[in-house]
Structure 1
């Protein structure tokens, strides 16, 4: 048997390939939208992908189940649990089989048994793996049910999809599902769907796998005997779900577009006048350069989302899905950034220009702007005196743990829709934990006409190290 692990750092998302080398068959569990790695691995290992399995209707990335089933002709093994509200709507377009609690299917000599594990979502299932004819299970693919050190949050349907009163129901379902999990053999391996950095939980570990026994000892969520106390703690202090989660749930339920139906981004050749006119007409231009380069010089009206491992997450918060997306990036990064955007359902990646072309546009008359940066030591007295307005863009849990007394709090992901709440009668200082998120926030204020802005380098972390005033 072959077991292969795939990991997308931008989404903190794990997927798996199970192969039976005796028969040449393979299964992919929870595939991402970019399926090339699975195709390449199958070819290298002389395997044919015959089945694709999904643990639930994902909210945090575009599923590759339809894409992979279409390209390979594999049968998609999809949850039939959860009722009509949580059923897939694109089944007529692929070979598929609905599976339920207790269902079994084979991948060569490997047996997969389905375990209904609702809580994170009503239709959530896990896959228990048996190699050959062994009575003892080897491990379990848990999806967003059990992570290393955490469990899936039950509040996404309410917070991201707007379905009222589903958090408590999901929490109680999770409690019962975990009771079943506790009954599994301690030696079983646990292969989760996410790692540290995912917003699908609040305490995910960075280790890629675990065992049932280890999770019983170390996972906070498995220590509860009181259901009410468990539900209360499960829904508390969860991170804000990115806005795109609501979009993903709908896309994955209805069926994402196939990638060959999408056009490729064009290398644009705007003149300064043309680009200026486009920006005045609300062109969405995302500058993916570093924070430092953007601060030094950028085109007015652009938003800075640096190309790093957090790009997909913040793009999901800040990109307008109803408009085409244009990028400022190096040409050799266009493909990766396009994949990242399409992994979260931002399919309309229309074009790009390169950083070198910014200088050419400037020489041809394109206006440029910059913003100031400061440090806690430099700005503390002005904050204390009220000479500047301080805006903290960290998340709610960070704010509650401690903040600068004079600060206003608007989490970065909500800033665009709450821009009118930011005072403009004095310079605005932007602050986060380290300076990265506040840099993005600074670009948002500038793009919305608030030009007198300053980014605090080092953020609240540097402020705290210097023992400057704070409260909680």
Structure 2
């Protein structure tokens, strides 16, 4: 048996390829959209991909299962659990098998046994893995977004992101029953989840790639609670905001992602087109660093640095509207991957980063914003001569914040910016200044005249000995 692990740092997403070395057949579990990496891995190991499966209808990235089926003819093994709201709708024309709790299927001598594990979503399933060439006892379990290292999947995404009222409580109760069943599995079983630290699919995921059933029973917080009501309260408390685009991802993965046949290759556009596009209301994303953008940018462009695209583009961009990029040519492929992974396929073209200097030389006036340290801002914040905006998450704000600040979480800022812009200078602050930089650019793009990014955020504020409220 062969087991290969693939991890995308930006999405904190893990996927797997399991192969039978005797027959040269392989199956991919919870594939993302960059299916070429699975095809390369299969070729390198003299295997062919004959199956693709996933633990549930994903909300945080576009699934690659359909793309794999299209390009390899692989059989799709997909969940038939849950009600009619959670059925795949793109299966006509593809070889497929819908599976339920207790079902088994094989790839060569490798067997996958389905275990219905609802809670994160109603249709969620896990897969017990057995190498039947050696034994009839399983070696491990692919848990998807059910059990993570040190955490379990959040049950509130359907309610928070998709507006399905009441599903958070019912999902938490399903999760309680699912982990009780999970705890009955042998302690030695390895656990392979679909996410690691940094994912919004849980609140305390570990940065270790795998765990065991026994370890989670001993040390996982969720396994220490025997009372259902206490469990439900603890599970729902303190979950981070559900990204707005999660609802879009659910829909895309349910009805079927667009087949790409490879990653898009956006067209490079001439510099003269950029001012006209912005004047016509086009969305332009400047992917340079916050420092570069602050020093000088084309008025109206939004700054989401390349390293933060996967986490924030889905929050801030319109899925129904084409957009343009300002990007370093050496980073173009990585930027495109980050966007396509979360379903932002409508890249209408790109400009090289040299466009900024080129347009300035041609007489285009650049915009900028100030970056200032907390000690230089404290007195202005205290006397109210500036508007302090905290763009962190709700739980961060509730834990501590600066007196006089107003809370506008970054992901909702496109819809709330008009409430902030009133002619007064605006200071934007987050934990360290990274999110604040995006917020500052968004406020500038929406017409704010004077915007300041607090360097170092609330961490630097506290390090300077300045007070916070709890």
Tell me the TM-score normalized by structure 1: 0.98
Match of residue 267 from structure 2: 266
Deviates more, 1:236-245 or 1:332-341: 332-341
Distance 1:91 1:369 in 2: 50
Q: Report the Cα offset of residue 264 of structure 1.
A: 2.9
Distance 1:280 1:236 in 2: 44
Match of residue 74 from structure 2: 74
Match of residue 213 from structure 2: 212
Q: 1:392 aligns with which of 390, 393, 410?
A: 390
Match of residue 228 from structure 1: 229
Match of residue 444 from structure 1: 442
Give the 3-state SS of the residue equivalent to 2:121 in structure 1: coil
Contact 1:80-1:123 at 8 Å conserved across structures = yes
Q: How many residue pairs end up in the alignment?
A: 469
Give the 3-state SS of the residue equivalent to 1:142 in structure 2: strand
Match of residue 419 from structure 1: 417
Say whether residues 1:152 and 2:150 are aligned partners. no
Give the 3-state SS of the residue equivalent to 1:106 in structure 2: strand
Give the 3-state SS of the residue equivalent to 2:251 in structure 1: helix
Distance 1:458 1:270 in 2: 34
Distance 2:295 2:406 in 1: 26
| RMSD of equivalent CA atoms | 1.1
Q: Report the Cα offset of residue 135 of structure 1.
A: 2.7
Give the 3-state SS of the residue equivalent to 1:147 in structure 2: coil
Per-residue deviation, residues 143-164 of structure 1 (Å, max 9, x unmatched): 0000001100000001111111
Distance 2:462 2:373 in 1: 12
Q: 2:316 aligns with which of 315, 318, 330?
A: 318
Match of residue 282 from structure 2: 283
Q: Report the Cα offset of residue 261 of structure 1.
A: 8.9
Say whether residues 1:338 and 2:336 are aligned partners. yes
Match of residue 136 from structure 1: 137
Q: 1:329 aligns with which of 323, 327, 331?
A: 327
Q: 1:379 aligns with which of 342, 367, 377?
A: 377
Contact 1:262-1:347 at 8 Å conserved across structures = no
Structure 2 counterparts to residues 365-376 of structure 1, below 5 A:
365-376=363-374
Q: Report the Cα offset of residue 276 of structure 1.
A: 2.1
Match of residue 348 from structure 1: 346
Q: Report the Cα offset of residue 342 of structure 1.
A: 1.0
Structure 2 counterparts to residues 117-132 of structure 1, below 5 A:
117-132=117-132
Q: Report the Cα offset of residue 364 of structure 1.
A: 1.5
Distance 1:131 1:260 in 2: 32
Structure 2: tracts of 5 or more residues without a match:
none
Match of residue 435 from structure 1: 433
Kindly report structure 1 stretches of 4+ aligned residues shifted beyond 4 Å. none
Give the 3-state SS of the residue equivalent to 2:115 in structure 1: strand
Q: Report the Cα offset of residue 293 of structure 1.
A: 0.5
Give the 3-state SS of the residue equivalent to 1:167 in structure 2: helix
Give the 3-state SS of the residue equivalent to 1:202 in structure 2: coil
Match of residue 244 from structure 1: 245
Structure 2 counterparts to residues 7-46 of structure 1, below 5 A:
7-46=7-46
Give the 3-state SS of the residue equivalent to 2:89 in structure 1: coil
Contact 1:34-1:64 at 8 Å conserved across structures = yes
Distance 2:126 2:10 in 1: 24
Match of residue 460 from structure 1: 458
Structure 1: tracts of 5 or more residues without a match:
none
Distance 1:94 1:116 in 2: 23
Distance 1:429 1:332 in 2: 33
Distance 1:227 1:126 in 2: 22
